[in-house]
Amino acid sequence: MTVEAVHHAALTAPDMERVRGLFDDEYRSNLGPWNPDQPYGYAPHDVHVVARHGEDAVGHVGWARRVIDVGGAEVVIAGVGGVLVSCSWRGRRLGERLMSAAAQSMQAAQDIDFGYLGCHEGVVPFYTACGWRRITAVEHFIGRDGAPAVEEAEAPLLVLPIRRPVEEWPGGEIDLRGRAW
């Protein structure tokens, strides 16, 4: 089992097909085939953290660097999405290994203040066990349909301290200045 971070441009065609398989296994029936340039209407990833078992991709976490607005302050984040583990590999702590490798790749980028993600309530315990901290804020973004959208403060948002401690996360509304991940 290997887990490695790869910049989007460096993914080989076979790697891309393996990652596509993970996404399609999870989402194709509801959302159609995966498009890496605009996955299901969300923002694409700059970095893909891929877990491989032999030639098979069995896990994935993607992230993209972006400067967002939080309460009038600019914050450099790695917006995280595409957290997937193949059904046959669930329950083996692979998700934790992927999230750890993603955090290491964010640290290696040297200019990321925080990891950032939105999720549904059922997976919050997984992310908090991986060191992410829940924040409360109204979030503004471009929706999957291309129109401005707002998520109220009850929706789970989490940050991971990378270059700055979580106590330095600014208060106020968040403007992602683009699509969510």
Question: How confident is residue 41, by pLDDT bands cut at 50, 70 and 90?
Answer: confident
- Assess contact for 114 and 73: CB atoms under 8 A: no
Residue given tokens 């995280």 in the structure block: 80
Q: Phi/psi at 20 (nearest 5 deg)?
A: -55, -40
For 8-40, write each residue's pLDDT tens digit: 999 889 989 999 999 999 999 999 999 998 888
The pLDDT of residue 162 is above 90? yes
For 53-77, write each residue's pLDDT tens digit: 998 999 999 999 999 999 999 999 9
Q: Is the pTM of this model over 0.85?
A: yes
Distance CA 118, CA 47 (A): 18
Tell me 171's DSSP state. P
Task: Kindly report the number of other CB atoms within 10 A of residue 72's CB atom.
Answer: 10
